[in-house]
Structure formats: C-alpha cells, structure tokens
Chain A
Amino acid sequence: MGLIGTAELVEAARTWMSSRAEGVRGDLNNPEFPGWMPDRGFFSSLEFDDAWNEELGQTELRQVLEIKSQKDRFHAALTLFEAKFRQLAERDSVPDYVVIALSDQIVTRCGTADYTGKETGAVHRDLRRALKASAMKFRIPTQIVRAPALDGRDRTPPSRIAWNFFTAMYCKAGGYPWSPYGLTPGTCYVGIGFYRPLGSADATMQTSLVQVFDERGEGLVLRGHEFEWDPNKTGSRSPHLTADGAHQLMALVLDRYEAAMKQTPARIVVHKTSRYWPDERDGFRAAIESRVRRYDLMALEVQSRVRLITTSKYPPLRGTRFTFGDLDYLYTTGYISALNEFHGMHVPAPLQVADHVGQDSSRDALLKEVLALTKLNWNSAALGGLLPITIKFSGLVGEIMREIPADREPLPQFKFYI
C-alpha cells in the first residue's frame, strides 16, 4: 500500500491503519470489526514500504495553498497530486492501492473550485472526483482519508469507520468482499445513467453511461456516446435516448459482455431511473432481440408520494412489496426483522416500478434481483442500500467520468471510481 500526504499525515494514516487492522471493538449498535490480519477478519496483511510513499513537502504545499485564485489553487493542488501519482506509477514495483491523506487545510483551501471559463461557462470542481480521474490515468485505485477520521474528530463509531474503510480497500485491492445470492446465472444486469460535461456552457450536452454486472456481481463501467438533450424542447429534465442511441449503447454492452465472458448472455435486465420513451424502448429491443432471447427493461424510481405506515415505532420491513392499482412498489430500506433493527434515520421511501417492458421474468423474480443488487455496494459495509448497484453508482461514476476528457478512454473497472 502506498501513501500520499504530508509527512505527518502519512505517519498518522499508517499508525491508524495498523492499529485498526488489529480489530476494533463494537458496541450495542455497531458490530466489532474483526481486523485485517493474516489470522483474522479479512485474512490479509497490510504491507507498507517507504518506497511507495509520496510525501507532500512543506514548500510545495505552501506554494499551492498561497495561490490567491481559487481556480489556480485547485489546479495547482491537482497538478501536485498528479505528479505524485506519476512518480509512484513509474516505480519498478507499484503498490496495489494508494491512500491519500488530506489535511484540513487542503480540504478547505482546495476541496472545491467554482469558476467561469470562456468555453465552459460556470464550472464546479471537486477535488475528490478530480483526484480519482487523475489517479485513473496511472491505473491506481485510491482511497481518500481526511484528517478527522485519523485523529478521532470524526464522530462516526470507530468500528463502522473501520468496516467501511477496509471493505472498500479489499475491493479496490482486487478482492470480492462478498458475493450476491439469488441472481440468475447467465444474466447481464445493466444500469443506464447520464452525465453532463463539466461546466454550464454545454447545458444541453449529455453523455450516456452504462454499468454492467454479471450474476457474480462483477461489474464494468462503459461510457456511451454524447448527445444533445434540451429539457425545454423535450419537456423532460431526465434525458432519453434516440432509437439509434439506445441501439448503439446496448450493442456496446453486449460486445463487452461477450468479450469478457466468451458467451452471449442468456438474459438481459436493464435498470434505469426514468421511463422508457417509445424510441428508446424500440432501440433497446432491436439491439437485444437480435442477440439475446430473454430481456426485461425496468424503470425504478425512488419516490416519496406513496408510503406504507405501520402502527409501530418502526416502518415497514425491507423487502415489502405492495401494489396500488397497477403501480408496484418495493421497500429496499426498512425494518429488518431478522436483525431486529432499522438502519435508516427517518421514514424510508419505497422504489416504484415506473415502467416495465418485456415480460420474460415474473415481477417477483425481478424485484428479488433488485433487492440482491442493493447489497452489492462494496464501497461500504452497509447491509443494503436504497438503490440497486446498477443505478446506484450512476451518479458517482458520472461525476468522475466528467473529469475525464472525451479523448481519453476511461477505465472500465469499478475500483477506480469508488
């Protein structure tokens, strides 16, 4: 494992990780973290090597922090980190994983930048996203740690921090922390999302994004094509693909799936947060039907219009499915009776099946898969999320993807985005 940060923070991060790797005591609400050692927990070991560390020198750091313009300061910080990534990547032996320890000063002074460019219009940048996109150039999976987590100012229960930190590390270092149960073999699960390029000048440009998962939960991120989307002309804020666009995107998915799996999927399930417009639906269908026999296109929308209310302190159970006339809902968050607990804070909202094209699987089977896919977020040790992973990562990946220039091929592996 490599470390990037000031000498002080590099040392603090190292000490913190070594001590947490021993295991962290839990409490009533937070299970014990069993450790990251050869004989317990993750059955792995932390390997540090000073040759894998890149320290940020006092002078170079001061030169960045002293810059007056927010935009220039942000860029200078990014350039500084990028130089460190490059130096690490050029070593004979490269670490599997790099922890970037950010001081409070860097976060406050360079954490975000808002500026207006001639060609780009108003731009909002975020250091975390920019660092991920930059590290990706050198194929380095990263984890960002902020000083409060290291020195104890972060009030999150320590065992929970450790669980999340080490679970993400395990995944980024190439492991599979757990596998899904109940997904159908030979099925290709696809999530469709969109993102806008950096800046407000191109407000009508959109790029499509697909996330593909197999039944073992292994996933790939693929960038689709750019297209224009004008909410005023179309009357819809959420973008929709043309028939050609949908066809192209699905063909790309199938090509990549076949290249990776050496076979055509037996079945395709597509998740999207907006409804399928007729052209879009026809494009997907045409691309799928020429190659795959069974498919289902589903639109899943988080909504807070319709809720079930129990006469209890706790909300309905996670996994509760209900219908209102023709409308179908699923609670992916809620009370978990097997554990006798509710994870969320306020009243949970169910997912609504806003649209379903193709009837090759029963609704029950499809919703069970949705539930299984909510558990596949390896970036956290949480039991399950609100959204299935197919669409959960769209936003996260899109934010990083927009930092990657159109002429640079983004890496398909998830570990570079989380």
Chain B
Amino acid sequence: MAVPVAQQRKLTQRSGNICAFPGCGLLLTAQGTPEDPVVVLGEMAHIVAESPNGPRGDSPLTPEERNRYENLILLCNQHHQLIDSEGALAKYTVERLHAMKETHEQRIERRLGGRSNVPTELPPMVNDTVYSNVLPVTQMPRYIYGAPCSVGRENEVRPAAASAGTMTPFILREGRLWAFQDLRDTSNPFVDVVACTETERFSTKEWWTDPDRLGWYVALLNRSLNKLTGRLGLRLDHDHHRYYFEPEAAGVERSVPYRPLNASRATRSVVWQPKKRATGEARNYWLHRAVSLRFFLIGDNQWCLSVRPELRVTSDGFESIQAKYIGRQVTRKKSRLFNHDLLGEVQFWRDFLGRSTPRIFFPFGTDRQNLIVSTSLSSGQVRWPGIPPEHDMPFKNVDYVDDLFTWAEAEGLSEDDDAADEDDDAEETLR
C-alpha cells in the first residue's frame, strides 16, 4: 500500500522541503537536468514501519494509519537509513521520531515567519472615555465695534482704565480701532482716540465667514489671551507664540499650587534649574513651563481653545538660548513625555488658567460681550479594541464644581444667543 498523495503533500509542505533530522538541514530538492529540472531527494520515512516486521513495526496501528502523515517523517536518504539501521533502533524510538518531526515542523514555521491562516483573535471591543487638550468656548462676544482712530500705531493707544477688572484688547486695521467694547458709548476706554459717532458694529458671526475678517478676529482673541495670561503673571515669548513662567527673582526656582489629576492640592515646579542626577550639580540651563494657546473655529459657530503644553529653555532664567544649542535637551524631555504626562500637563494649565474654577473668564465690560471658556476638557466616548486595563492610570479630578463665588460670577451671564437683545433694532441703522 502506498502513501496517499494528500498525505505526501501534507508531509512535504509542513517539513519545508528540508530533512527533519536535527542539525541536518539538507534541502530535499536539487537542480537536475534540463529535461527534469528538479530532482527530489527527500524520502518519506515511516515512524512505525509499514509492515509489522519492519523497524518499530510492532504497533496497533492499522496498515492505513501507518501510511498517513501522522506516521511519516521527511528525511534525506542518509538519515532515513540511519534511523532504520539495526544498531540504531533503540536510539530512534517512535517517541523520539515524533518529537524530532514536531520540533522540525515548528522550526520551519517559525523560521519562515509564515502568516497563520487561523484568524487572529482581536481584542474585544470596549467602551472608553477619551479626553482632549481642547477646551470649549461657551460664550463669545456677540459684537465687534470699529471706529476711525486718530493714531496709527497700537502702542500709542492707551485705553482708559475701565471698570475694575475689565480687559480692553483691541487691534488697529484699515484706519480703524476694533474692540469688544461699545465704541458708541462716550465712556468707552478708547474715547480719546476714536470717533465714537462713526462707530460701526458687526456681529461676530458675520466676521467668521470672511477669511480676512476671521484673521482679524483671531488677532483680537490673541490680544485677549495676552491680557489674561499677563494678569496671571505669564510672559509672552513672541518668537514661539507661547506664554511661560519667569522666576520671581534671579536665580530662584519657582513653583505654583494647583489641583492635580488625583489629589486635592499639590505644587508644581514652573521654573527650575535641572540637576545632574549623579552629582546633583546644576546644569547650565533653566527650564520654564510654557503653553501655546490657540482659539479655533470648529464649525457651526463653535469655538475652542487648544492648550498645548511646552517648555522654554533659558541660560539663567531670563535669556533665551538659540534653538540649535537646546534642540537636544528639549527633544529629550519631549521624548519622555507620555500620554499620561500630557494629561497631567493639560490639567495643570486648565487649572492655572481657570484658577481652579469651572471657567476661564475674559471680562470685556458687559455680560453679553464677555468671552468664557469652559475648563472642562472636551471628551468623547469611543468603542474600540482598547488598551489593556493593566495600563490604566487614574484621573479623578475631571470636573470642577461651582462654589459660591464662581457661581456668582457666572450668574447672569447669558449663554443663550437667541435671547432678546435690546440693541437688535439699532443694528440696521449702524451698518
């Protein structure tokens, strides 16, 4: 009885055309003649002999089973002879040959890096909450006012001190001063330099659809950020459009309190001189926590503020260092910033900018004109194969709750754009 073709194929394919004898590695096909270009050298050796009288032939296997793949091992001629030789039978037992075959076949599969045709089991889908480094704007000023301006340079404009705490950001474009304050009002902070009676009023939404005006609008928002950060004691790094902490005194490190991810209170270094780990010796540069903030429109009149934590490097706490000298330090620091560190940094900044309250408040004088950014991180639900729970890292302080003071501040702030506006009638005449 011969070995069926299907069994032969199974054996040769799984053996990878190589002798299964340990350490042999002989290829079992060779180059032949032009008429017969491939010569087969491999031999299908029986583990339990085909006949009961043959080598290892004493077995309950049926004649049919003896010719199946399970009972065959692919060898070169030399090793076939060796395992069947009288003197070696005690050494090459049925068990040993099975093990030899299995090891060989596994090695072939591994060696060739074959792709398993058993579908890979994908991790189960799970529901997760993901956060972002983006804060939603909950209220934008409704109007922008522009009036002819008697001075041509922005640094010549000195807004009068408006009511306590009011911010007065403005830009000069095309001979006009543009601001969020009502320039028709003769007590407006720019009254010295603008012609109140020639004031134009635009709805902010109108500006957002015009690319040029949108640019102006963003400039005005950036001025507002400058005011806000300035009040919080941050400095502006013009070259990189970011805000950073400076030391309060030369050579003195600085840290500020904040509410971290999982505890009620902690302090965080914001200006420091790194030390060499081995010797404790101070390095020749200073690091400053910094942040890049940008307002952007995400469609449907919805604005957001993105918070991108950064680092500034100086030689002594004040003098910036040229990029080519510090690139490596910053890159190295950045390469150690992982997902959860980023969350910690964003947490720090939202807490600092919002002074641990539910919102960042830009007071422009009247309730309807204020700019308010929520300090709740934009988040979303995802369903995905997920990251194994053993890598989970806690984040407890997700929400801010109003206290009496923040509640009072927010009270009366209308976030409803459809509310009646006593000025609406005037709009037509002004435009």
Please give the residue numbers on chain A whose beta carbons come within 8 Å of chain B beta carbons, in ascending order.
23, 34, 39-41, 304-317, 320, 322, 324-327, 335, 337-338, 340, 345-347
Contacts and interface: CB of A to CB of B under 8 A. Distances in A.
Given A307-B132, A310-B130, A317 B298 contact: no
A340 B123 CA distance: 9
A310 B128 contact: yes
Contacts of A307: 132-133, 342
Given A34-B111, A317-B387, 12 more contacts: A305-B294, A306-B134, A311-B343, A314-B338, A324-B132, A325-B300, A325-B304, A326-B298, A326-B299, A338-B120, A338-B385, A347-B341
B175 interface: no
Nearest to B378: A324
B387 A310 contact: yes
Contacts of A316: 130, 382
B335 A309 contact: no
Given A311-B393, A317-B387, A305 B335 contact: no
Contacts of B334: 346
B290 interface: no
Overall SS of chain B's interface: mixed
B113 interface: yes
A317 B125 CA distance: 12
Contacts of A320: 382, 384
9 contacts: A40-B111, A306-B306, A309-B133, A309-B342, A311-B395, A312-B391, A312-B393, A315-B339, A325-B304
B387 A309 contact: no
B18 interface: yes
A345 B133 CA distance: 19
Nearest to B299: A326
Interface string B127-143: 01111111000000000
B298 A327 contact: yes
B349 to A, nearest CB: 13
Contacts of B338: 313-315, 346-347
Contact of B122 (A23, A304, A313, A338): A338
> Is the contact region of chain A dominated by helix, strand, or loop, or is it mixed?
loop
Nearest to A325: B298
B96 interface: no
A309 B337 CA distance: 12
Nearest to A337: B385
Nearest to A39: B27
Contacts of B120: 338
B219 to A, nearest CB: 14
Given A34-B113, A311-B393, A311-B394, A337 B380 contact: no
B327 interface: no
Interface string B287-309: 00000001011111010101010
Contact of B134 (A39, A324, A340): A324
B391 A309 contact: no
Contacts of A304: 308
Q: Which 4 A-B pairs have the closest CB atoms?
A: A325-B298, A326-B299, A325-B299, A337-B385
Contacts of B323: none
B45 interface: no
Contacts of B18: 39
A39 B308 CA distance: 52
Contacts of A315: 338-339
Contacts of B132: 306-309, 324
Contacts of A314: 338-339, 387, 391
B380 A313 contact: no
B123 A346 contact: no
Interface string B332-366: 00111111111100100000000000000000000
Contacts of B134: 306, 324
Interface in B15-38: 16, 18, 27
Nearest to A322: B380
Contacts of A347: 337-339, 341-342
A324 B300 CA distance: 11
A324 B340 contact: no
B112 interface: yes
B392 interface: yes
Nearest to B300: A325
A338 B123 contact: yes
B398 to A, nearest CB: 9
Contacts of A34: 111-113
